Structure 1
């Protein structure tokens, strides 16, 4: 009986609270308005880790290393719209502070930081794309030569075959 109690206590002290209750990877819903925008995701090191088309749900790591939360840059593109860049940052998981009661210093200073379970990511990232004004203003105007002011007529260039 004593051996079982010691083993159970050792497991409890050797694990972190976030490692027990949370995870180090999270599902993140990626979306845009309008939808069907292509996107790619770079981590804090500048490495492209995912790409796709909205809407999509992906699994991303919340940690970038020991005591280092991950920060992602999401770049959205759609024809006729301006490129949109948003930042997705991890934050400390509330369960990490459960180590004060359950995981102790080992969980707080070693286990949860090493496993990445001390961090969490938002559930979704949404980009609001705006129309590209320059592309939408392209147009062709046909006018009679006598309706154009003389100053502008002097700037016209004849088209030849």
Structure 2
């Protein structure tokens, strides 16, 4: 019975989920503007960070939208695409369809860039 449960649990887990999980740390930089308030969002949630700074987000296949603002400056907006991790393709062979489905569904198969640069228009501050 224990062997059957162990075998079943191994079949239901997936490679990317085990190795890197659903979470990813990302850093946001708005140089040369400091202390901008940034909002990051995808289909898994919304996160906030002051720039330059880091936060942990949930991985997803969908784009990550980043919006930063600071009083007296223009607004900075950028969108970054997720990329499929190489181990997700290996999971097709090792974890089969179940492992691949788990990784894709939880977002564990995807990555965003670890550093996201968001340009903020400084011309508004210079005009004052």
Confirm or deny: 8 A CA contact 1:26 1:120 kept in the other structure. Answer: yes
Instruction: Please list, as runs of the form range in 1=range in 2, the aligned pairs for 1:75-154 lying within 5 A after superposition.
Output: 75-108=67-100, 110-132=101-123, 136-137=126-127
Give the corresponding residue for 2:50: 53
- What per-residue deviation string (whole Å, max 9, x for no partner) do you get for residues 47-76 of structure 1? 7x223321111111112xxxxx13222112
Shift of 1:12: 2.9
Partner secondary structure for residue 20 of structure 1: helix
- What per-residue deviation string (whole Å, max 9, x for no partner) do you get for residues 72-130 of structure 1? 2211223443221111222212111122331112212x322233212222211112333
CA RMSD of aligned residues (A): 2.7
Give the corresponding residue for 1:142: none
Distance 2:20 2:8 in 1: 20
Q: Which of 63, 78, 87 does residue 71 from structure 1 map onto?
A: 63
Structure 1 gap segments, 5+ residues each: 64-68, 139-161
Q: Is 1:17–2:7 an aligned residue pair?
A: no
TM-score, scaled relative to structure 1: 0.65
Confirm or deny: 8 A CA contact 1:25 1:59 kept in the other structure. Answer: yes
TM-score, scaled relative to structure 2: 0.78
Structure 2 gap segments, 5+ residues each: none
Q: How many residues align?
A: 127
